[in-house]
Structure 1
Amino acid sequence: MLPPFMRLNEEIYKQFKSKTGQIAVLIDPEKTHELSVLKRIVEKSAFANVDYFFVGGSTVMRKDFQNTIAILKSLTEIPVVMFPGDFQQLSRDADALLYLSLLSGRNPEYLIGQHVKSAKEVLQLNIEVIPTAYILIDGGTQSSVAYVSQTSPIPKNNSSIALNTAIAGILKGNKVLYFDAGSGAKNSVDSSLIKEVKEHLEAVTIVGGGVRTLEQIQELEKVGTNVIVVGNKIEEDIDFLLDVQNYKQTN
């Protein structure tokens, strides 16, 4: 029998599924950990009607990860979702955990090894766990996650591999597809790929990496992306959240 949290608690997953064009702000505690900076991001994110905070990074230490989530939870009611880079990045203060399997790579450590290391702790957190197929797409630069995981992203122009990987992920029981071009990507995931995936699968899709313009957000929403993740752009220009607010108001 599944534990109660896996049978009953699907609040965040249902929210993901409820509509397209939702916005998540990605916070990397290694880059953004000072209270004053987090307060500013939270205030502008609330004004912009952002839907989620995702927290994680490729090399974040447990203490910084947990402190960042604790601060966010003290400042906002916007859901905080763990987007972990390794098995240490866990906190019982978060609202949900994206339980990531890196399906685009062939490194067993990120397919199952990290999960085995953290399994008991995840079970004891008693929070919502969302099985997620994590699929890296080439964003024009070597991303931190590709380097740390020692895997190669799927070539940007090879949609058939990406589509088959996504289908395999759903058939294996994942509930969410997360397509990521990586932190600091030059190019975001093509909206045409998401359109093709949606033609074959009725699955919740999240897209991140290289999202820097409202035009990209609009294109991704148009093809049915449920959650669009913005990270580096906000680190560089926090006032982009004002543009997001205007966009959400008019759509």
Structure 2
Amino acid sequence: MTITQVISPHLPYLRRFARALCGSQEAGDAYVVASLEALVQDQNLFRTDLQPRVALYHLFLAIWSKVPLNSMTTRPFEGIRALENLTPRSRQAFLLTAVESFSADDAARVMGVDRAEFDKLLNQANGEIAEQVATDVLIIEDEAIIALDLEALVESLGHRVVDVARTHKEAVEMARKHKPGLVLADIQLADGSSGLEAVNEILETFEVPVIFVTAYPERLLTGAKPEPAFLITKPFQSTTLKAVISQALFFDQKSRKAEAA
């Protein structure tokens, strides 16, 4: 199989990544073309010790990083506002995982760093995004200790917890009162009610990104509509939840910008 055949299925996704990284389709496509031209000149640039998609993105970032302007923190950017102030390396880490769905290990290989350095860059991105899209958060959780952990984690990212609901009724009432920008919800609540039903009722009133944090993910991943876009299984890792919060707010902002266009 030729290199062309190997990389062809991945090129549309590379163009998507390039556009998000560079801030415009024109700039992104230019770097994709430059990467392909470099590959034509020297096929040894394509690392055969990596999976093809990892190797292709690795090549792209090597070409992109050679331009001094791309290493600057402040640079022309026409893309999503939440990304424009991210430092270049943290932006790469976030996009590779949040948009391109690389595992952390593969994303580290793409960037040519070890896992510890990658985790540091991703945490930096989460913090930088939170500064750009800080919002009010409603927590729907009946276990007091978990609710306190969630509250501390959310506030460490710069967001504000407006309330903590323990039942379906409280959740709906608090959501209508505060109109939060993000909801973190369990699905089994103190009075035996359903957090999922509470969220569905909230969404009938206004749109808000929701992250389910539950010990019973199988109750949500049934194939029935709607399935949650963001789901964290208890017990959760704080780094994982921080990353998902950033993703949820990033994609919500991206969607709202597209609707306004």
Instruction: Specify the structure having the higher radius of gyration (Cα).
Output: 2
Q: Which TM-score bucket, shorter chain as reference?
A: 0.3 to 0.5
Q: TM-score, normalised by structure 2?
A: 0.34
Structure of higher RCO (CA pairs closer than 8 Å, 6+ residues apart): 1
